[in-house]
Amino acid sequence: MSDLYPLKFETIFKDKIWGGQKIKTILNKDFGDLPNCGETWEISGVQGNISVVKNGGLQGKDLQSLLEKYKGKLVGEKVYQKYGNEFPLLVKFIDANDDLSVQVHPDDALARKRHNSFGKTEMWYIFQADDDATLNSGFNRPLTRAQYLDYFNNGELMDILNIDQVQADDVYFLPAGRVHYIGKGCLLAEIQQTSDITYRIYDFDRTDRQGRKRELHTAESLDAIDFAYHQQYKTSYRDQKNEAVELVSCAYFTTNKLHCDQLIHRDHSRRDSFVIYVCMDGALTLQYESGSVPMEKGEALLLPAEIEKISLKPEGSFKVLESYVS
């Protein structure tokens, strides 16, 4: 065993035109002098936004340097063979005090061709939602590219978007190519591929503090959009206490939910992957062979791949998301 242990990181705060105050009022994270906070990046390997360790003997070290030093011990041998010194997942909280832009993300092939980057497949777990909160995932009818363009060019894009009313604990999986936006009143956790590439399709004609509209990516988005129609976009799952419930499993990550009010043991020896825990409610202590680390609502933690067996001890009860590379 190396000197690795369960790692917490300094939160990276992002001021956004649509951001609000829930990062502070609900997640208890102080974003200082920013007028608002639309996103926090909790675990990030995105260049220019590399996470820095805030606990234990590796405090002050960044995720990139740890990956270069510990390689498969940190992320798993199969993960390291596939991704090398690029950490493959990005974990965020998003507070939509206003509607985000209607947008789409490219898949791996298009992102590699255009940006030398990963694509962006993601999932959302709704942390909290106001009474009238909604979001968009996909289209509300079958469409061809030509039909989509007719609606778009006629200013009728909103007519073809699938809009769902949402509440806490709802889950959405958004493969690259799916048109989407997060609606006003949603506070959510996002697990995604490491990518910061977004094609903005429509931004509700709003302007920033200088009176400027944000750039749209109309032409770029066309090649990225998946026009497939689905009757149901929300992920259906059954909340089972004191066991792992799978929410999403795709080529890039698997995410489980654990809703527990008693001690639960987790054996990750067959995963050959790091595991990320995000605490959505309550508090717990993560116990491992060499020690323990507390977690509370709004915190994320990176469990190195070489730590295979842990226990999660509730302080009353907790809800956590558990994610790893599939």
Could you give the C-alpha distances from 259 to 137, 190, 234, 245, 289, in angstroms and in order?
Answer: 26, 18, 20, 9, 23
Q: Quote the radius of gyration of the chain (alpha carbons, Å).
A: 20
Cβ(168)–Cβ(128) under 8 Å?
A: yes
> C-alpha angle 41/201/194, rounded to 5°?
30
Catalytic residue, candidates 114, 141, 178, 200: 200
Place of tokens 């960044």: 62
- Whether the CB-CB separation of 169 and 133 falls below 8 Å is answered with no
Active site residue 114: no
Task: Give the catalytic positions in this structure.
Answer: 200
